[in-house]
Structures are given as C-alpha cells and as structure tokens.
C-alpha cells in the first residue's frame, strides 16, 4: 500500500522568523497519527532549524536541491552527505524551475537521483511538460523520456525509495490546476513507463505525486485518483492554514 505524501516546496521564500513560525505552527497541528507523510522543504540556511524543530514529530525535512558529488571544488553547492549530516531525509530533484533557470538536465537529474539513493535520502524527482508540448501532442513521449533518463542505471531494489512528482509546468504557480483526470492520465503514464522499465510490482511500489496549484479545495479529488499518491505543493505550503487544509483533505 503506497503512502500519501504531502510535500511543501517553499522555494526561495521565508526568512528565519517566518520559517520558524511556519514550522512551529505545523508542529503544533500535524498530529502523530496524521494519514499523510508530511515533508517541508525550506531553503538551505534554515534546514538545521527545521530539523531541530521537527524532531520527534511526523514532519520530514527536505532540501530543494543538492549536488551529486561528495565534496570538492563546486562553489555554492551542497553535497548529499552534508544534508544527511544535518538530519535532512528528502531532497527535491529536477524541479522545473531548476531545469529552466539553472540549466539542470535529465543527465544531472539522473546523477542527483543516484547520489540521493546512495546516501539514503528520498529523492522527489520532478518531471512535467510545457503547455506548448501538451498542445503539440508530445506530452506522453516527453514525460516517458524524462522518466527513463531520470531512472537510468537505478536498480529495481531502489525504486520503492523513489518518489516521482508530476508537475505540468503550465500549472506551477499559475493558479491553473490540471484537472484530476489530466493529472491521473499522466501519473498513470508514469507508472506504466516504470512497469515497462522494471515490472508491474516495482511500478506499484513507487509514489507518484501531482504538483501544480494544489490547494485544500482540490487535493481530495486529485489524491483520490488511483495513480496519484499525494501532492508537491508550492505557494500553498507557505501558510500553516493553507498547508494544513491540504494535509487534512488529502486522501
């Protein structure tokens, strides 16, 4: 049985005071027997604080990015071992903003995914098409290609630890949510691709999230779809009430 996962990607938002207030607010409200696995991804400087504040709670802390190398001359980068060292458990990999603004490619996404797994970090691997690709009718081969390249060289045993997030670029931060039917269609394409690359059993074990303007009002329909196992949430993860509405309404 796959878990429901609700992950909040804060992007480059919240300085220390707001980060502390938001995490403290969540800690007060995310109860031990919460149905969903709850993950928050603050910016790098506040990760240690987030880990400290969430100790002993069901909230997990994710980084929004990392490098694949262990250490060395990579100015501005952070390694998987460093994240593990401070108690981070998850890492978002290949978000479309990283691909668009920081030249991340399928190849770097693959290297980062392998490095995360090697360090026992849960990779939340993002994929998604642009509106143009959808309108041109190439969404399916594009998504399948992203999945195949992201998972290249990763063994079946590691797949159950991988989380995939389908995030149509046209729905991120735009207020436009994919309909539950559209999101389900693509999450099912992703699962079928994993089944073709590995096996139906392996595909069944992988959590596939939807991301793109998820809110308290649409999360139940989205996560009620057979192949959608949760949400990767941007804007609505910044306020405790908004994020709690998503956690509480996820099914």
Which residues make Cβ contacts (< 8 Å) with residue 230, sequence separation at least 6? Answer: 3, 4, 5, 6, 7, 36, 37, 207, 209, 210, 223, 250
Q: Is the CB of residue 4 less than 8 Å from the CB of residue 229?
A: yes
Annotated catalytic, 136? no
Annotated catalytic, 14? no
The closest residue (CB) to ligand PEP is 234
Pair of tokens at residue 83: 């994240």
How far apart are the C-alpha atoms of 13 and 42, rounded to whole Å?
Answer: 8
Among 50, 127, 172, 186, binds ligand PEP (CB under 6 A): 172
Q: Is residue 207 helix, strand or coil? A: strand
Asked if 244 interacts with ligand PEP (CB under 6 A), we say no
Task: Consult the annotation and say whether 173 binds a ligand.
Answer: yes
Asked if 155 interacts with ligand PEP (CB under 6 A), we say no
Rank residues 182 and 205 by Cβ distance to ligand PEP and give the closer one: 182
Q: Is the CB of residue 115 less than 8 Å from the CB of residue 66?
A: yes
Task: Consult the annotation and say whether 213 binds a ligand.
Answer: yes
- At CA 154, angle to CA 225 and CA 144, rounded to 5? 45
Q: Is residue 55 helix, strand or coil? A: coil
Residue with tokens 């993950």: 39
The 8-class DSSP code of residue 171 comes to: G
Task: Consult the annotation and say whether 234 binds a ligand.
Answer: yes
How far apart are the C-alpha atoms of 52 and 23, rounded to whole Å?
Answer: 10
Among 16, 45, 155, 173, binds ligand PEP (CB under 6 A): 173
Size of the site for ligand PEP (CB under 6 A): 13
Among 9, 65, 146, 223, binds ligand PEP (CB under 6 A): 9
Cα atoms in the 13 Å half-sphere on the side-chain side of 28? 8
Nearest distance from C-beta of residue 171 to ligand PEP, angstroms: 6
Task: Consult the annotation and say whether 199 binds a ligand.
Answer: no
Work out the number of other CB atoms within 10 angstroms of the CB of residue 105: 11
Rank residues 82 and 126 by Cβ distance to ligand PEP and give the closer one: 126
Subset of 203-242 contacting ligand PEP (CB under 6 A): 211-214, 232-236
Task: Consult the annotation and say whether 13 binds a ligand.
Answer: no
Catalytic choice (37, 95, 97, 129): 95
Name which of 186, 199, 194, 172 is nearest 225 in CA terms: 186
Nearest distance from C-beta of residue 180 to ligand PEP, angstroms: 15
Asked if 23 interacts with ligand PEP (CB under 6 A), we say no
Nearest distance from C-beta of residue 98 to ligand PEP, angstroms: 10
Q: Is the CB of residue 200 less than 8 Å from the CB of residue 159?
A: no
β-pair partners for 230: 5
Asked if 63 interacts with ligand PEP (CB under 6 A), we say no
Active site residues: 95, 167
Give residues in contact with ligand PEP (CB under 6 A). Answer: 9, 167, 172-173, 211-214, 232-236
Binding annotation for substrate: 9-11, 173, 213, 234-235
């Amino acid at each position: 049985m796959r878990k429901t996962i609700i992950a909040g990607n804060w992007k480059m938002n919240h300085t220390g005071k707001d980060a502390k207030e938001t995490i403290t607010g969540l800690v007060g409200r995310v109860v031990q027997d919460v149905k969903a696995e709850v993950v928050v991804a603050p910016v790098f400087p506040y990760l240690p604080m987030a880990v400290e504040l969430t100790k002993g709670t069901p909230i997990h802390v994710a980084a929004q990015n990392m490098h694949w190398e262990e250490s060395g001359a990579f100015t501005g980068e952070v390694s998987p071992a460093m994240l593990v060292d401070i108690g981070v458990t998850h890492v978002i990999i290949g978000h479309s903003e990283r691909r668009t603004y920081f030249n991340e490619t399928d190849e770097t996404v693959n290297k980062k995914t392998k490095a995360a797994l090697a360090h026992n970090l849960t990779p939340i691997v993002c994929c998604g098409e642009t509106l143009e690709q959808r309108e041109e009718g190439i969404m399916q081969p594009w998504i399948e290609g992203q999945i195949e390249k992201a998972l290249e060289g990763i063994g079946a045993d590691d797949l159950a630890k991988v989380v995939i997030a389908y995030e149509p670029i046209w729905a991120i931060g735009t207020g436009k949510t994919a309909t539950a039917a559209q999101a389900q269609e693509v999450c099912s394409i992703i699962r079928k691709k994993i089944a073709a690359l590995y096996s139906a059993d392996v595909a069944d074990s992988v959590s596939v999230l939807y991301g793109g303007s998820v809110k308290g009002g649409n999360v139940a329909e989205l996560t009620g779809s057979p192949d959608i196992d949760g949400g990767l949430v941007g804007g609505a993860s910044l306020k405790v009430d908004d994020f709690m509405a998503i956690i509480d309404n996820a099914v």
